[in-house]
Amino acid sequence: MSRPKPLSGFPELTPEGRIVEQHVLDVLRDTFELHGFGSVETRAVEPLDTLAKQGEIDKEVYAVQRVAAEPGTPAELGLHFDLTVPFARYVLEHAHQLAFPFRRYQIQKVWRGERPQEGRYREFTQADIDIVDAGTLAAHHDVELPLVTLGALERLHVDLGLPPALMRVNNRRLSEGFYRGLDVPDPPAVLRQVDKIDKIGAERVTDLLVGDAGLSLAQARSVVELASISSADESFVEQVQRLGVRSDELDEGLELLADVVRTARQHVPGRLVADLKIARGLDYYTGTVYETELVGYESWGSISSGGRYDSLASDGRTTYPGVGLSLGVTRLLAPLLGRGLLVPTRAVPSAVLVSVQSEGTRDDAVAVAESLRARGIACEVAPRADRFGRQIRYADRRGIPFVWFPGAGEVKDIRTGEQLPADAGRWSPPADDLRPRVRPAGTGSAG
């Protein structure tokens, strides 16, 4: 076999990149669990007819079929393309085993047969949180969810130097209530045009609202004016009210969004704004909608999106409303790793290389290693009983900071050259050296 070529759209990380990814996934898991979300994993496949119901995406679905299937048999299964569709199915299937409101996080790969390009992958990892109730779901969960995701992104910002996040939030009841107050004929159609403002600009959208959606010029201008409102505090409410449109649904939407903004200002100040042009394309959203950018990297698009859906799942008798946020882990990490913006302090877990003086004394080295591991210190035993200089160079090449000499009972910090007597039952490396850490590139080296 000659050297295999990568498959376009299926990114694979080096061991260094994987250390960064693991760190990010650990922070997400820890944050989600601290907020009382439990983990769920669903199978990778769903019946194709379930997947195909999500109209806008069915062309990208990968079908799955046994190679040994009878030729001509139509495929029945497909790989999931997000974690929302499988989760909705999981809730229906396992409802009798779940306690509602059910809080779950789900970190898994998803697959889409897209044309590969930067920021678009055929296999990528998503991290979703959702709260789902049976019957009705209280509004305060819409306020709660951004705190969880922004809390996780803030930890990544502070610990890893990830760019800061900015979440933009709107509420469809606010927008659609405003449109109803304006007496426009088809509020959802208006929302679909508003969704294009970032791409084609406000003027072009005004034209489309008049030409395609049948609005008067005055109505279209009001719609675009509403979409131009954004604020980091509750002042957006007054700005909307100044437009002079009234409806009960609008008032409800304003109150719900004001709650989100007020609470976020208190707990994650500067990280969330009300932005009334946010629409989100997916039809199943019915209330709050979220999008999130990394500040300075807005061109990457939204790295975390979601919203409230009042009836994603229903078994005919019970409807399960929910609110969810999905974080694109690969979308977030691949460009940061590709540009070398995040690097681990070393490429291996080992803090210590236990040297071997001769093959006859390898057992002594293994005993030292076992003693270190019993106290949580990752280490490996030198693969060859080379000259010590070579064994030190071997550690250096891997970024392992310490070399242990079982014969002498000494340990050397190969970065400083300091070598001291040490007892394998008591010695510990400095806390910073215990496991590989992740840091922004160019902020000093530990290895």
> What residues between 276 and 315 interact with a copy of itself by CB under 8 A?
313-315
Among 189, 282, 348, 408, binds a copy of itself (CB under 8 A): 348
Count, residues near a copy of itself per rule CB under 8 A: 98
Backbone dihedral angles phi then psi of residue 290, each to the nearest 5 degrees:
-125, 145
Find the part of the chain contacting a copy of itself (CB under 8 A) among 42-50, 154-162, 275-283, 294-302: 42-50
Distance of CA 413 to the CA centre of its chain: 37
Q: Which of residues 152-191 bind a copy of itself (CB under 8 A)?
A: none
Strand 123-132 relative to strand 319-328, pairing: antiparallel
- Asked if residues 411 and 352 have their Cβ atoms less than 8 Å apart, the reply is yes
Structure tokens at 330: 């690969």
**What's the distance, Cα to Cα, between the start and end of the chain in Å?**
35
> Judged by CB under 8 A, does residue 45 bind a copy of itself?
yes
> Judged by CB under 8 A, does residue 95 bind a copy of itself?
yes
SS3 168: strand
Among 20, 40, 237, 261, binds a copy of itself (CB under 8 A): 40
Among 73, 117, 266, 358, binds a copy of itself (CB under 8 A): 266
Among 99, 135, 244, 360, binds a copy of itself (CB under 8 A): 99
Find the part of the chain contacting a copy of itself (CB under 8 A) among 107-115, 157-165, 186-194, 216-224: 107-115
Spatial separation of the C-alpha atoms in residues 81 and 308, rounded to whole Å: 20
Find the part of the chain contacting a copy of itself (CB under 8 A) among 135-143, 169-177, 181-189, 248-256: 135-143
Among 20, 24, 28, 37, binds a copy of itself (CB under 8 A): 37
Place of tokens 């030198």: 382
> Judged by CB under 8 A, does residue 61 bind a copy of itself?
yes
- Asked if residues 134 and 330 have their Cβ atoms less than 8 Å apart, the reply is no
Find the part of the chain contacting a copy of itself (CB under 8 A) among 94-102, 196-204, 234-242, 286-294: 94-102
Among 92, 134, 189, 232, binds a copy of itself (CB under 8 A): 92
Place of tokens 């789900």: 106
Q: Max Cα separation, the chain? A: 90
Residue 105 forms beta bridges with which residues? 39, 129
> Judged by CB under 8 A, does residue 62 bind a copy of itself?
yes
Structure tokens at 48: 């194709």
Place of tokens 């131009």: 228
x-or-dash string of contact with a copy of itself, 206-245, rule CB under 8 A: ----------------------------------------
Structure tokens at 6: 């990568």
Find the part of the chain contacting a copy of itself (CB under 8 A) among 75-83, 194-202, 282-290, 322-330: 75-83
Q: Whole-number minimum distance, CB 265 to a copy of itself, in Å?
A: 12
Spatial separation of the C-alpha atoms in residues 127 and 35, rounded to whole Å: 15
- Asked if residues 81 and 124 have their Cβ atoms less than 8 Å apart, the reply is no
- Asked if residues 177 and 206 have their Cβ atoms less than 8 Å apart, the reply is no
